[in-house]
Structure 1
Amino acid sequence: MTADREPLRTFDDALTALAAGFPADPGAAARHHRRLARLLHPDTAPPDRAAQANAAFAELGRAWQHRSHRLIGAPRHTYVLGDILATGDLATLHTAHTAADRRAVVLKIPRRPRDNDLMTHEAAVLTRLDTVGEPRHRAYAPTLVESFRQRSADGTERVINVLEPLTGFLPLTEVAAAHPAGLDPRDAAWMWRRLLVALGWAHRARLVHGAVFPEHVLIHPEAHGLVLVDWCYATAVGTHLPVLVDRHTDRHHDGYPPEVHHRGPATAATDIHLASACVRDLMGDQAPPPLRAFLRGCLLPSPEARPHDAWALLAELDDVLERLYGPRTFRPFTRPAARAG
């Protein structure tokens, strides 16, 4: 029940309402604040309760300032900012919800205004995937709710991307950490297959993801789902990557394929190299010789010699997997246990 339905008439009413917090709706919250300020102001409070009024009025100011900092207005919705969900290479992800109906969302906020262009670029890429990519594969990328500019009190502007939350997903970095000796190839197989579908879908939309690293590949263990995130690094097929992930630029650690270091154009073969390195590192020494040989072909230095069709590669992978393990069946995957501490 909102404050609009519960008129505040007395000082004690205001104290009770202050403890209950503000309504979710921004307009109702502003009206509620004005009523509380009028009743709790030391000049209008009962004379014998001046000390209590001073303390309550100060608390009201702090609460309203905190709420104002957490409210972010955008063209489509007003959002209530929540906790930090994750910290990415360029941006911080916050939990949030719409003020009007408390719909859960994620706000991706760049840490530096100089990266605003990458947030705008990511929004354009996600829109292209949504409008040009095949609809049946839409779940392989985050869903963009809206993208907007926010100006802070000091005049700084940031482009914020609002995304649908990915509940139940975790990055491949967590999977790898939970299996330091290498993941069973039968479990890695479904992740590999879905990653190739995600890439094939993007490539048909004439896009290269350009940053297929474990932290950008999220899986849903129980549902065998996969989402490829951080599309701000993506580019059109045959063009240069707009930016590189700093920690993966050391060529001695096989981060990017050679054509990226040589400033060559990014193609489907670039993504296939990156994805194959993810899978190779995930399986480690657990991979049997046929899969190792398959991966070596995907990791050849020359992009021209490498596979360049993710769909065709998926069919070849299925043949190898069937020879190794028989007909494909659903294999339950256990979510890594949360670490203590």
Structure 2
Amino acid sequence: MTTTAEAIELIMNGGEELFDGDDPAGTFRRLARLTHPDTAGLDGGLAFGKLVRLWRNRGTIRSANGVYRTDTLAFEGDLANLYAQPDGHLKLARDPGSNDLMAREAAALRSIAERGDPRYLPYVPRLVDAFRHKDAGRTRRGNVIATTATGLHSLAEVAQRRPGGLDPRDAAWMWRRLLVALGLAHRAGVVHGAVLPEHVLIEPADHGVVLVDWCYSTSEPGDRIPAIVPHRRDHYPAEVLARETAGPYTDLAMAARLMADLMGGQAPQALRRFADGCRLASPRQRPDDAWKLLGELDDLLHRLYGPRKFRPFTL
């Protein structure tokens, strides 16, 4: 950039990415000198005003309901970046092409909060805010989400830490609570659609479970799962890959696959058969009621291990 005209064009067509690089303050000073209204006239003054606003607000995103920081990247999800906030995370789509999926997540969490049993709401994130954010000529959706649990770890991490398989007595509480989360959603008319290792978070000390990433959810009768996570393609039941109608049986099959993989060779034959029964090829032959399935799982666990008791779990 060597001229005032080039600086004006750069500012008027740009966003906070103007300050990317090793010397953001130096970039601001150079652009400010070239566009200051005392030397660049009215056009320069408009660009200068925008430049100052961008500099003042860098690292923040404003919605009608709040101001959110983007200077601490906590996670990189399938579709979005998650930025740490004092009471949760800002989940911002990396690409506008994912906006429809972000909208699905917001709609799903609203439905569950409005129609779900309050006792079980901590099993899913709470939607704090949902908005559109425009920068650099593109509009992306953001969802602000929060959980009551802390110290969460994904089941993908658990699998990495337990390469020999998880003791079924430890997997039992995770499976039970996952079924509670799914039962909560299904009663609210929502199918999660992506019960995958990265999307099931546990709180080891207190045996908490939170089911996250509702971007792939469905809530309309006859609806199909809108997209899949490519590197987890083999986790999806046939109806998802065939673009057919999904239902509670879809989530229950994926949950069973997840828990069977987590236990690996440590699962007793009876638990393997139970998981296999949730994953039959035909959706009509699979369980489709998470609460009923939870009762059946409890009966099986009682036969295998006796009365339930708290079993400490650490990573």
- Contact 2:101–2:215 (CA<8 Å) still a contact in 1? yes
The answer on 1:260 being equivalent to 2:240 is: yes
Tell me the residue number matched to 1:227: 210
Paired residue type of 2:266: Q
2:144 equivalent among 162, 170, 174: 162
Tell me the residue number matched to 2:262: 282
Take 2:311 and 2:55, find their aligned partners in 1: how far apart are those partners? Answer: 48
Tell me the residue number matched to 2:18: none
The answer on 1:91 being equivalent to 2:88 is: no
Paired residue type of 2:141: V
Paired residue type of 2:70: L
Q: Displacement, 1:64?
A: 9.3
Take 1:220 and 1:63, find their aligned partners in 2: how far apart are those partners? Answer: 43
2:300 equivalent among 306, 313, 320: 320
Paired residue type of 2:222: G
| Cα deviation code 1:25-47 (max 9, x no counterpart) | xxxxxxxxxxxxxxxxxxxxxxx
The answer on 1:115 being equivalent to 2:74 is: no
Moved more, 257-266 or 66-75: 66-75
Take 1:200 and 1:238, find their aligned partners in 2: how far apart are those partners? Answer: 19
Tell me the residue number matched to 2:63: 74
Count of aligned positions: 263
Give unmatched runs, 5+ long, in structure 2: 1-50
Give unmatched runs, 5+ long, in structure 1: 1-61, 98-103, 337-341
- Contact 2:69–2:83 (CA<8 Å) still a contact in 1? no
1:177 equivalent among 136, 143, 160: 160
- Contact 1:199–1:271 (CA<8 Å) still a contact in 2? yes
1:246 equivalent among 230, 236, 241: 230
- Contact 1:82–1:96 (CA<8 Å) still a contact in 2? no
Change (3 A) 1:64 1:96: farther
| Cα deviation code 1:182-208 (max 9, x no counterpart) | 000000000000011111111111111
Paired residue type of 1:85: A
The structure with the largest alpha-carbon Rg is 1
The answer on 1:124 being equivalent to 2:113 is: no
Higher RCO structure (Cα 8 Å, ≥6 apart): 2
Q: Displacement, 1:293?
A: 1.1
Instruction: Name the SS for the 2:235 alignment partner.
Output: coil
| Residues 182-193 of structure 1 mapped to structure 2, 5 A cutoff | 182-193=165-176
TM-score, length-scaled by structure 2? 0.80
1:200 equivalent among 166, 183, 194: 183
- Contact 2:60–2:70 (CA<8 Å) still a contact in 1? yes
Q: Displacement, 1:255?
A: 1.6
